[in-house]
Amino acid sequence: DAPETVTPTGAPTGAPKTANSQQGAFLTTAQGVRLYDTDHSLKAGERGPTLLQDHHLREKIMHFDHERIPERVVHARGAGAHGVFVGYGTAENICKAGFLKEGVSTPVFVRFSTVVGSRGSADTVRDTRGFATKFYTDEGTFDLVGNNIPVFFIQDGIKFPDIIHAVKPHPDREIPQAQSAHDTFWDFVSQHTEATHHMMWHVSDRGVPRSYRTMEGFGVHTFRLVNEAGETSLVKFHWKPKLGVHSLLWEEAQMISGFDPDFHRRDLYDAIESGAFPQWEFGVQVFPDTPDQTFEGIDLLDSTKIVPEELAPVQPIGMLTLNRNPTNFFAESEQVAFHTGHLVPGIDVTDDPLLHARLFSYLDTQLTRLGGPNFGQIPINRPHAPVNDMLRDGFHQHAVHGGVAPYKPNSLDGGCPFFAGSKDLAYVEVPQRVAEATKVRKAPESFADHFTQPRQFFHSLSPLEQEHVIRAITFELGKCYEQAIKERQLLVLAKVDTRLAAEVATGLGLPAPEAEALPEVVPSPALSQLGQEWPIDG
Ligand code: HEM
């Protein structure tokens, strides 16, 4: 059973909130030399030229000049908080990860973000939101780098630069700053129809959350879990906010962008400061690990598809509570480095081609963003499990490694610390059979249906929510300069729903697309057997 309340734990990183920015009675240089003045440059006379020999001036200005680091290439705007995750133990029979065991309490750091805008952009723009969680478990760090929308624009990570180039501001005029209401975005999604499902969620009320505290989170991809007996299951991860899911009206979102561009950041900070700790229940949809990795005709390796909760209910496995604000935004929220490859024993990846590109991308980008290969040593990124690696040197190395033999095998430093049975506790990839296959650059047939689920999503909305979608697309497409893009997107919308397309067309002052001009819709997979459950215990 889920515990009623979760007790906050202590701080994993960072100085206590009450600490002053300066400690000690004297100001010093970075070398600890006591200063008598930090307000005046050293000059040849009170009104004379500044002297090159002023090493304090040079140190102070040099450091200031390098205070900024590159912002994230995506998800640049965000805010984070510390908290605790408590496992319910309900997942123990499908996953051996220690942090999911009953009552185990694990420190976490969560960062919420928008995708498109730069660091200084407004919080309430229409966008997908990031929901990234770092679990500092006893068995090493596990990162779940998810979003508030359960599907993604693309099926293969090789398309990520394309979608991001399309959604970011136009290269010539740097417009718009932080949203998708422009030609290049609609140019891309109107031609790359696998984006339709994500696009529909994006233009729904999910694209303008009321608060980070009222967003769902999704791991998006299917992951493979393994239990103590070595049995595997496929799962999708979900975060369900205890406060429920709430959105802004588009008009509210626009006004708030002006009144308080920090609306979401402030809301999260103030809630935590006042003791109203936000909570999310962690849950899984569980599917049998069949050789074809499909469920009810849905390809589980396709990140543009959900599995409806009517077919596989979300089963609660733990509770997240955010209970402490960062001490220093830069040190924690800005320097935190999430990575889909940070996995712990019991959790493995599947062959989702979107996930595989991500497994490469995060470390690669952080190498530049955080200045070299040692960003794992930054306090917010340090595992809470003991680290004993053979990685050495590099920019910003903080460790002073002893010994002479960071290699294996060695006979000089007492050998390497491997012991019999280490496989029981170590991270071991599930020995998944890799099909005999020919190299191809090709999507499988099972990825081909781009419209069934967007249509189901639209039809699942209430009339008011559908109206919001129609007005949102009308607004967004109305910002495009190119008539041809609007017309092409209307054709795509007609494949989702002809009334949707007709109403957007009316809003844009364009004729509704002719039904016979529409290409054939790809047949939908059978979504039968509503209500069938795959309980964790069976
Ligand atoms: C950053 C989620 C797909 C590359 C992020 C962040 C989130 C996220 C939440 C922000 C992390 C933070 O707060 O620091 C997702 C989801 C995806 C997805 C849910 C699809 C299911 C991709 C793909 C790529 C990619 C396909 C590249 C192939 C990046 C990069 C960053 C990032 C480079 C910046 C990381 C940093 O600077 O630390 N993503 N992403 N993402 N993502 Fe993704």
Residue 373, pLDDT above cutoff 80:
yes
* Nearest-angstrom CA–CA distance, 220 and 198: 11
Determine whether the annotation assigns residue 362 to a binding site.
yes
CA distance 499 to 494: 7
At 496-506, the pLDDT tens digits run: 999 999 999 99
pLDDT at 10 over 50: no
**What 3-state class would DSSP assign to 470?**
helix
Number of residues that this document lists for the chain:
538
Mean pLDDT, residues 428-445: 89
For ligand 1, whether the C-beta of 74 sits within 6 Å is yes
Please give the Cα distance from 524 to 531 (Å, whole number). 19
Interface pTM, i.e. ipTM = 0.96
113 lines ligand 1 (CB under 6 A): yes
User: Is 265 labelled as part of a ligand binding site?
Assistant: no
What pLDDT band is residue 22 in, cutting at 50, 70 and 90?
confident
Higher pLDDT, 13 or 279: 279
In angstroms, what is the span from residue 224 Cα to ligand 1's centroid?
20
Distance of CA 291 from the midpoint of ligand 1 (Å)? 29
195-251 confidence digits (pLDDT tens): 999 999 999 999 999 999 999 999 999 999 999 999 999 999 999 999 999 999 999
Q: Which atom of ligand 1 approaches the CA of 72 most closely? A: 37
| Token output for 59 | 């140190």
Handedness of CA 144, 148, 154, 159 (dihedral sign): negative
521: pLDDT strictly greater than 50: no
As a whole number, mean pLDDT of residues 158-176 equals 96
pLDDT of residue 417: 73
Tokens of 8: 């906050």
**What percent of the chain is helix, strand and coil (3-state, nearest 5)?**
30, 15, 55
369 is in an annotated binding site: yes
Q: Is the CB of 363 under 6 A from ligand 1?
A: no
Residue 354, ligand 1, Cβ within 6 A: yes
Establish whether 72 is an annotated binding residue: yes
Q: Residue 440 corresponds to which amino acid?
A: V
pLDDT in tens, 84-102: 999 999 999 999 999 999 9
Neighbours of 429 (CB within 10 A): 10
- Residue of the CA atom closest to atom 24 of ligand 1: 358
Burial grade of 54 (CB within 10 A; 0-12, 13-18, 19 or more): middle
| CA nearest ligand 1 atom 25, residue | 358
Read off the DSSP letter of residue 73. S
Pocket test for ligand 1, best of 148, 152, 355, 362 (most atoms within 8 A of CB): 362
CA of 517 to the centre of ligand 1 (A): 37
CA gap 489, 196 in Å, rounded: 10
Q: Measured from the CA of 369, which atom of ligand 1 is nearest? A: 37
**Biggest alpha carbon distance in the chain?**
88
- Euclidean distance between CA atoms 97 and 100, whole angstroms: 6
CA 313 from centroid of its chain's CA atoms: 23
Q: Which of 88-97, 162-171, 507-516 has the lowest mean pLDDT?
A: 507-516
pLDDT score, position 221:
98
Q: What are phi and psi of 171, to 5 degrees?
A: -60, -30
Q: Residue 9: is its pLDDT beyond 60?
A: no
Mean pLDDT of 262-288: 98
Tell me if the pTM is above 0.95.
Answer: no
Q: What is the average pLDDT score of the chain?
A: 92
Q: Give the 3-state DSSP-derived string for 109-141, with helices as H, strands as E and coil as C.
A: EEEEEECCCCCCCCCCCCCCEEEEEEEEECCEE
Q: Strands of 184-296 (E only): list them.
A: 217-218, 223-226, 232-241, 279-288, 294-295
Closest CA to 536 of 227, 82, 152, 310: 227
Residue 17 binned pLDDT confidence (cut-offs 50, 70, 90): low
Residue nearest to atom 7 of ligand 1 (CA): 130
Q: Whose CA is nearest to atom 13 of ligand 1?
A: 111
78: β partners: 113
Distance CA 368, CA 51 (A): 35
Taking alpha carbons only, the member of 513, 146, 88 closest to residue 316 is 88
Work out whether strand 217-218 and strand 298-299 pair parallel, antiparallel, or are unpaired: unpaired
Tell me, in angstroms, the distance from the centre of ligand 1 to residue 455's CA: 27
What is the average per-residue pLDDT within 380-386? 97
pLDDT, position 8: 37
358 has binding-site annotation: yes
Q: What is the pLDDT of residue 524?
A: 38
Q: Is 73 in the pocket of ligand 1 (CB under 6 A)?
A: yes
% of the chain beyond a pLDDT of 70:
91
**pLDDT tens readout for residues 387-432:** 999 999 999 999 999 999 999 889 998 888 776 666 778 999 999 8
Q: Whose CA is nearest to atom 15 of ligand 1?
A: 146
> Which amino acid type is present at position 93?
N
Q: What is the pLDDT of residue 517?
A: 60
* Residues forming the active site: 75, 147
The pLDDT assigned to 536 comes to: 44
Give the confidence band of 537 by pLDDT, cuts at 50, 70, 90. very low
Instruction: For ligand 1, say whether the CB of 147 is within 6 Å of any of its atoms.
Output: yes
Ligand 1 pocket member 304 (CB < 6 A): no
Q: Helix, strand or coil for residue 512?
A: coil
Of 69, 71, 74, 330, best ligand 1 pocket probe by most atoms within 8 Å of the beta carbon: 74
pLDDT for the residue numbered 333: 98
Neighbours of 144 (CB within 10 A): 24
Give me 5's structure tokens.
């309340």
17: tokens are: 């909130």
